[in-house]
Structure 1
Amino acid sequence: MGYHDSGYLVPMSPNLEKTRASINQDLKFDPLSSTYEADNDLKRAQIARTFISDTMTVPTTEMYAYGVHGTLGDAVYYEPSTIALEAHVAKITGKEDGLFMPTGTMSNQIGLRTHLTQPPYTIVCDHRAHIYTYELSGVAFHSGAQLIPVPPQNGHHLTVDDVSRSVVQGSDVHFAPTQVISLENTLNGTIFPQYDIVPISEFARSLGIKMHLDGARLWHVAAETGMSLKELCDPFDSVSLCFSKGLGAPVGSILLGTKEYITKARRVRKLFGGGMRQTGILAASVAYALTHHFPLLPRVHILARKLEKGLQDIGVTILSGAETCMVFYDATSIGTTYDEIAEKGLQLPSPLFLGGSRLVVHIQTTEAVIDDFLELVAGIAKERKKAGFVKAEMNGVGQYRDVYVHRHWSISKSK
């Protein structure tokens, strides 16, 4: 025992300097190998050959060099680069304010939670929506809300007729009223046309229902259609955009809305554990992505269409075509499996990294990689045909399998 400088009796080691030195030694850690630069170059080469997701893109050396110049500041209190980014994205989307988030899931969950004030309540969404299929029942856990998943009658996107039949209104105490309609654009890489979003928004506002947009890949919609982000976001009360998907930033999403809404969301972000510290380097990386990576998206769409056409020429059934950056295909239509394709992709001299039916093209995908994948699939199709495989037909077209089912793919054998 000994007395600390404060005067309080605290346990102190009799050999304080020696134990401090021991602790210092225990804490030392260097995760960098002597070949870290070569290792990172190899990772970039592997990502260029990865079709699993655009979330797997990695920062370029140029982005790294720019990002380190971001300002120093605590984002819970005041971080200049982050505040500037929030204001900039709010301006280009026509919203009053924005709030930087670590992930798109958090941005969606906080966005919905901020709208939901007094249960019971329901949220209407597409049955394939990310908030329904991939966010761990987050709206139930965080907000106590029930989702109403709606299949689009046209098989592509929801319409005002779909939504109006699903919204809960009225005074019947057996049913929780709908307080939010959440739409997603893109959804599975497909574009939700604005001519059907606007009527849904008008319907919602006539009933006092809030509109939320999961616009994780909205950048692709703007690049493909030429519509401004403001026009795409105008029908919504809140918008979530992702920076680490199509744009290739290392981390981050943003929630957008009115100043009053974002003020409330800021408190909820802190509640959810999303208050961050030195985010300047992340904000600067996002700024680089907005400036230099958004212009790359039209090329991504061209490559995706090349991928789709190449698969069709081989005889592969397309489940969902290349409207932006994704193609869904049916491996059984050429007598093989996704696992076989993935395994053979890994055996190539320069391996391909594949999951299931979803093929995602991103800003680091090269045209040569598209060619390598098509050559791989063509070889497998040729082998199966030689072995006597005949493609089954249904109603004159290749057998169709629900894209939603095929999104639940396993990549365990390609890790």
Structure 2
Amino acid sequence: MAIRLLLFRGLSTYSRSSMGYLKEKVIYDMVSDTATKPTDEMFEIMKQASREDDVYHEDDSVVALERYVSELTGHEDGLFCASGTMTNQLCLRAHLTQPPHSVLLDARSHVYIHECGGLAYHSQANVTPVHAKNGIYMTAEEVANNIVGEDIHNSPTRVISIENTLNGLIMPIDEIAQISALARSRGIKMHVDGARLWNASQETGVSLKEYGQHFDSMSLCLSKGIGAPIGSILVGSRAFVAKCRHLRKLLGGGWRQAGSLAAVAHWCIENIMPSMPHTHQQAKRLAMSLEAFGCSLVYPCMTNQIWLDTTATGVSTKLLAEALAKHGIKISAGNGCTSRIVLHHQITDEAIDQFIATATALFKEYEGSKPLAITGSFNITAYATPSQ
């Protein structure tokens, strides 16, 4: 499938504030997989958790989660934190010890676009953004061509940061292995923003441990597809995690009685992660239906995200969002012609059926309409990747 780089205008495709007109009760939130709600069963798990102090590393539930995820990924230790932004920034700061230094990454990366300039603020790091020519992932060849060397005029590459999945797109394990081998031959650290690496693993069958062998550090979000109420975890060597723990305290991220949050995150990994393949199938079924209506996809649907472009249909994403809202389905109104739809474990098959039925009626009503006019443009690098 050909990938078209769309010049976005107006608003980001992820903008909850742009949906103020949606007053109907939301039953199915497809704006993001961060929208999952804790269940009664999760609250029962939280009640049973230990209640000690994680700043002193004394809480059994937190320690159990950190040990569990480090074993899943093949690393020595883990650190439970409040957010994916925190775990990404802690990892990168721990790797970047002395400027001048730089991080090589995909130009669409969350750590580059949506973490408030954290690389510059926390690590005084330059960034080398790579624009993937295939539109899906940066290749080992592109990485090799963009590594900054040791010339006295340069800010040398010290870390290569990969995001997988990125916009729902999977970077192949063979490509990761090639990049990792290249990095290690040059003494460069490897980091993965694995906020949705769980999805990549469940879709491809590649274990987290197999992914993990190629990275010096991993950041794994627990509050997206995994469905936990809050949290993210980083993993790495024991010495590396000890350094991150110290830096977490520096940033004000040390938390006291965090056991209840760790316990429910642990439960979610074991009980919700196995449902991801079904979520991916739902997304692919919905994407195929939308294409049949004349919509196009900005990116192919590989996991749980649909990047929808309704330009050719004459139906704006705002109209689609309004129609769906009447049936309790919430999507982003996007920028008028594009919208990101994200599925998760709390989206039922019946919700997908209702989405398709509502879209069928709407597109039939506007059949024969002129394509939407696109005026003005925004840089895709700045607007193509939602903040969560």
CA contact (8 A) 2:109 2:385 kept: no
In 2, the alpha carbon distance for the partners of 1:176 and 1:409 equals 29
The yes-or-no answer on 1:82 pairing with 2:62 is: yes
In 1, the alpha carbon distance for the partners of 2:136 and 2:380 equals 11
In 2, the alpha carbon distance for the partners of 1:351 and 1:137 equals 36
CA contact (8 A) 1:47 1:57 kept: no
Report what 1:304 is aligned to: 283
Aligned counterpart in structure 2 of residue 380 of structure 1, from 346, 358, 362: 362
Seen in structure 2, the aligned counterparts of structure 1 residues 62 and 362 have a Cα distance that, compared at 3 Å, is: same
Report what 1:142 is aligned to: 122
1:3-402 to structure 2, matched below 5 A, reads 48-77=27-56, 78-171=58-151, 173-346=152-325, 348=326, 350-355=327-332, 356=334, 357-386=339-368, 388-389=369-370
CA contact (8 A) 2:101 2:155 kept: yes
AA of the residue aligned to 1:362: H
In 2, the alpha carbon distance for the partners of 1:181 and 1:360 equals 27
CA contact (8 A) 2:26 2:329 kept: no
In 1, the alpha carbon distance for the partners of 2:293 and 2:79 equals 46
CA contact (8 A) 1:319 1:402 kept: no
1:228 CA displacement: 1.2
Seen in structure 2, the aligned counterparts of structure 1 residues 271 and 373 have a Cα distance that, compared at 3 Å, is: same
In 1, the alpha carbon distance for the partners of 2:72 and 2:243 equals 22
Q: Which structure features the higher share of helix residues?
A: 1
1:375 CA displacement: 2.4
In 1, the alpha carbon distance for the partners of 2:110 and 2:305 equals 15
CA contact (8 A) 2:294 2:310 kept: no
In 2, the alpha carbon distance for the partners of 1:359 and 1:330 equals 11
Q: Which has the higher contact order (CA 8 A, sep 6+)?
A: 2
SS of corresponding position for 2:29: coil
1:383 CA displacement: 2.3
AA of the residue aligned to 2:49: G
Q: Structure 1, residues 17-51: CA drift from partner, whole Å, max 9, x if none?
A: xxxxxxxxxxxxxxxxxxxxxxxxxxxx9665111
SS of corresponding position for 1:327: strand
AA of the residue aligned to 1:69: Q
Deviates more, 1:311-320 or 1:209-218: 311-320
AA of the residue aligned to 1:103: S
CA contact (8 A) 2:109 2:166 kept: yes
AA of the residue aligned to 1:370: I
Unpaired stretches in structure 2, ≥5 consecutive residues: 1-23
In 2, the alpha carbon distance for the partners of 1:241 and 1:317 equals 31
1:68 CA displacement: 1.2
CA contact (8 A) 1:123 1:146 kept: yes
Unpaired stretches in structure 1, ≥5 consecutive residues: 1-44, 393-400, 411-415
Larger of the two Rg values belongs to structure: 1
1:182 CA displacement: 0.1
1:382 CA displacement: 1.8
Seen in structure 2, the aligned counterparts of structure 1 residues 291 and 47 have a Cα distance that, compared at 3 Å, is: farther
1:391 CA displacement: 8.8
Seen in structure 2, the aligned counterparts of structure 1 residues 47 and 299 have a Cα distance that, compared at 3 Å, is: farther
Normalized against structure 2, the TM-score is what? 0.87
1:340 CA displacement: 2.2
CA contact (8 A) 1:119 1:145 kept: yes
Q: Structure 1, residues 185-226: CA drift from partner, whole Å, max 9, x if none?
A: 100011110010001001111110000000011111111111
CA contact (8 A) 1:113 1:143 kept: yes
CA contact (8 A) 1:108 1:240 kept: yes
1:402 CA displacement: 9.0
CA contact (8 A) 2:26 2:328 kept: no
In 2, the alpha carbon distance for the partners of 1:253 and 1:243 equals 5
SS of corresponding position for 2:49: coil
AA of the residue aligned to 1:389: K
SS of corresponding position for 1:239: strand
1:380 CA displacement: 2.6
CA contact (8 A) 1:178 1:209 kept: yes
In 2, the alpha carbon distance for the partners of 1:223 and 1:332 equals 32
In 1, the alpha carbon distance for the partners of 2:25 and 2:53 equals 34
Seen in structure 2, the aligned counterparts of structure 1 residues 47 and 246 have a Cα distance that, compared at 3 Å, is: farther
1:405 CA displacement: 6.6
SS of corresponding position for 1:240: strand
In 2, the alpha carbon distance for the partners of 1:53 and 1:82 equals 26
**RMSD of aligned alpha carbons:** 2.0
Q: Structure 1, residues 167-198: CA drift from partner, whole Å, max 9, x if none?
A: 10132x22201100000110001111001000
Q: Structure 1, residues 75-105: CA drift from partner, whole Å, max 9, x if none?
A: 0011111011101110111000000010000
Runs (4+) of structure 1 moved beyond 3 Å? 45-48, 401-410
